[in-house]
Homo-oligomer: A and B are copies of this chain.
Amino acid sequence: MKTGHTFVKPLQRAALARATGCNLETIRYYETIGVMPDPPRDPNGYRSYSEYHVRRLQFVMRARDLGFSLEEIRGLLTLVDNDTRSCVEVEEIALAHLKDVQNKIAHLVRIEAALSNTLAHCSGTDVPECAVLDALLD
């Protein structure tokens, strides 16, 4: 064997969707808004995706899943692309998100307590709904 180099056959759109779990149409959407690059086309006009596109789409999806907006993802991608990946910038964005997520968790835990409290008191008394409201209102 010459190298460890493996040829990965190019993927069409549905194959990329299957490979990443992304919705078929969303791939085209990400292309039109510039989050995914315009892929090369086969002579017939079909999109031809490589391993690069799989990784990039996974990046986008993972970041979306973590709650980053497409605008933030565009920012992260330029940091990835230009190798000016100063950790500081990324850390700023990610840290802000972490705090946001932690706040959300704290609130949800209070709501959880209020809801299970509601269920515990569900014997016909007319008070418990206030707990839910209070939890949501702080």
Where the two chains meet, the residues of A that have a C-beta atom closer than 8 Å to any C-beta of B are: 55, 58-59, 62-63, 65-67, 76, 79-88, 90-91, 94-95, 97-98, 101-102, 104-105, 107-109, 111-112, 114-116, 118-119, 122-133, 136-138
Contact = CB atoms under 8 A, between A and B. Distances in A.
Contacts of A104: 65-67, 108
10 contacts: A58-B137, A59-B137, A62-B107, A66-B115, A66-B136, A67-B104, A76-B133, A79-B129, A81-B129, A87-B126
A36 B109 CA distance: 25
Given A66-B111, A87-B128, A90-B122, 12 more contacts: A59-B136, A66-B104, A66-B108, A66-B115, A79-B133, A85-B129, A85-B130, A85-B133, A87-B127, A88-B125, A88-B126, A101-B111
Contacts of A114: 66
Contacts of A105: 105, 108-109, 112
B76 A136 contact: yes
A104 B67 CA distance: 9
Given A66-B115, A108-B108, A83 B126 contact: yes
